[in-house]
Amino acid sequence: MFNVGERVVYPGHGVAVIKSIESKKVGKSEAHYYELRFVNKEVTVLVPVEKANAVGIRSLCTVDHVALVYKILSGPYIPAHCDAAIENWNKRSKKYMGKMRTGDLKELGIIYHYLQHVGKRKELSFGEKLVLTQTENILVEEIALVENIAKEAVIERVRSLIK
């Protein structure tokens, strides 16, 4: 169970703060909801407390997990990690979006790493650019909070790690 004021990750959307835990009457029963307010968006979401795990809401990652992501970003270009064998961008995009919805920072790092390398070899399509931007934003947002540094510094670091 999460507490009011705690920062959590809502998969595919980024970091949010639990503003309150509300009780609402639904029919004859009462249900409890987390009121999530996103850190960098003007969006509020209500998530049933009992469904939080199913939705994939999780605590911020650890510094060790961030180090693993940095290691992935600085590693060699391995197309197989991102299903580069799938020729059709639409199929790859669906797979990437599914991985993004898991909220796993490692998976986001792999997608970001791959697309950065592809972008060095050819012009990214509109869809690829969109996925690259989304993954970068979500990665940077969480890493900045975990490491307690400015987002701009994290952007600079993650971009510089790609060789």
Partnered with residue 45 across adjacent β-strands are 36
Whole-number Å distance between alpha carbons of 140 and 152 = 8
Closest CA to 151 of 4, 42, 14, 56: 14
> 148, 113 in Cβ contact below 8 A?
no
CATH 2.40.50.100 holds for 7-59: no
* Per-residue pLDDT, 79: 66
Q: In the β-sheet with 29-38, what is the strand arrangement from edge to edge?
A: 44-48, 29-38, 14-26, 7-10, 58-59
* Per-residue pLDDT, 83: 55
Q: Residue-wise pLDDT tens for the chain (163 aa)?
A: 899 999 999 998 899 999 999 998 878 889 999 999 999 889 999 999 999 999 999 999 999 999 999 999 999 877 665 555 556 777 878 888 888 888 899 999 999 998 998 888 889 889 889 999 999 999 999 999 999 999 999 999 999 999 8
The CATH label, of 3.10.129.10, 1.20.58.1290, 3.30.70.2740, 3.20.20.140, for the domain at 63-161 is 1.20.58.1290
Both tokens of residue 10? Answer: 């809502």
Question: Domain extents for the chain?
Answer: 7-59, 63-161
* Per-residue pLDDT, 81: 56
Q: Do domains 7-59 and 63-161 have the same CATH topology?
A: no
Question: Percent helix, strand and coil across the chain, each rounded to 5?
Answer: 55, 20, 25
* Per-residue pLDDT, 98: 87
Partnered with residue 15 across adjacent β-strands are 9
Type of residue at 62? T
DSSP string covering 77-104: --GGGGTTT---HHHHHHHHHHHHHHT-
Both tokens of residue 163? Answer: 């060789």
Instruction: Indicate the pTM of the whole model.
Output: 0.87
